[in-house]
């Protein structure tokens, strides 16, 4: 973890101790990922560098699911904490496909036409990321011509799917638009809280959107200390759209 991910070597283990010592005090087991999930800068530094060099790499997410932790019989749902059923549902990849076939999915993944989602927080509805550049529309994963004075980037405000748990207060949702700079640095162009984002771009570049959420809606399921988990968490991270 320290060498490859830049993370504390034992952080994830310590964060799961409540599930062993006092499971009823911890968030419901399906939300265990909130105890240890965090982004690591190593991956993003490499992605930014490749993007700056003109290499279009699709960002994807996956779960390192092994189902090899000893079962904890006192869990409220009587399942393994690291069971495949539970862990594989924590994250997902959403793609805009031309047709619902294997080839259609492969083409969308290759083009980077989509985003990753932290599904454990809830499934998003209404997410999109595109630019109006003059008369053209440049979607996520696409490359288009930057039109000075006539290029606007849009990120509608996503909402929770009706089937997602929503028994607590409304979540706070923040959209951030970032641009990759020379040298692989990243610049935050603008952010919008609980509102759609529309940004008049003044320069060409590789842009991506991030949607962060304070999961207030999960409060009833976060154990005896919900405040430990009511902080900004990455919900949706898009691939780039390229304006040249």
Give pLDDT, residue 121: 96
Which residues are CB-contacts of 155 (< 8 A; sequence separation ≥ 6)?
A: 128, 129, 175, 177, 192, 196, 197, 198, 209, 211
Q: Is the pTM of this model over 0.85?
A: yes
User: Please, what is the average pLDDT of the chain?
Assistant: 92
Instruction: Pick the more confident residue, 44 or 21.
Output: 44
What confidence tier does 105 reach under pLDDT thresholds 50, 70, 90? very high
Residue 78 in this model has a pLDDT that exceeds 90:
no
Q: How many CB atoms within 10 Å of residue 19?
A: 21
Place of tokens 């962060």: 212
Whose tokens are 């985003």? That residue is 115
- Residue 6: which region, alpha, beta or left (left: phi > 0; alpha: psi -120 to 50)? left
Give the pLDDT of residue 12: 67
Mean per-residue pLDDT, 65-70 = 80
Alpha carbons 69 and 19: distance in angstroms, whole number: 12
């Amino acid at each position: 973890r320290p060498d490859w991910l830049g993370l504390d070597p034992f952080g994830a283990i310590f964060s799961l101790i409540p599930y062993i010592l006092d499971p009823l005090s911890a968030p419901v087991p399906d939300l265990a990922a909130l105890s240890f999930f965090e982004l690591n800068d190593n991956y993003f530094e490499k992605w930014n560098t490749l993007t700056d060099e003109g290499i279009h790499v699709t960002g994807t997410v996956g779960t390192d699911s092994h189902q090899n932790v000893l079962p904890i019989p006192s869990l409220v749902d009587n399942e393994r904490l690291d069971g495949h059923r539970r862990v594989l549902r924590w994250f997902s990849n959403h793609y805009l496909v031309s047709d619902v076939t294997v080839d259609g999915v492969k083409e969308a993944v290759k083009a980077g036409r989509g985003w990753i989602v932290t599904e454990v927080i809830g499934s998003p509805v209404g997410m999109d990321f595109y630019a109006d550049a003059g008369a053209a529309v440049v979607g996520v994963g696409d490359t288009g011509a930057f039109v000075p004075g006539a290029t606007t980037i849009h990120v509608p405000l996503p909402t929770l799917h009706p089937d997602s748990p929503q028994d607590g207060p409304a979540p706070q949702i923040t959209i951030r638009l970032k641009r990759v700079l020379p040298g692989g640095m990243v610049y935050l162009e603008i952010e919008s809280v609980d509102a759609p984002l529309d940004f008049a771009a003044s320069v060409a570049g590789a842009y991506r959107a991030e949607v962060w959420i304070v999961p207030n809606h999960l409060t009833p399921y976060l154990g005896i200390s919900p405040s430990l988990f009511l902080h900004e968490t990455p919900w949706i991270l898009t691939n780039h759209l390229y304006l040249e």
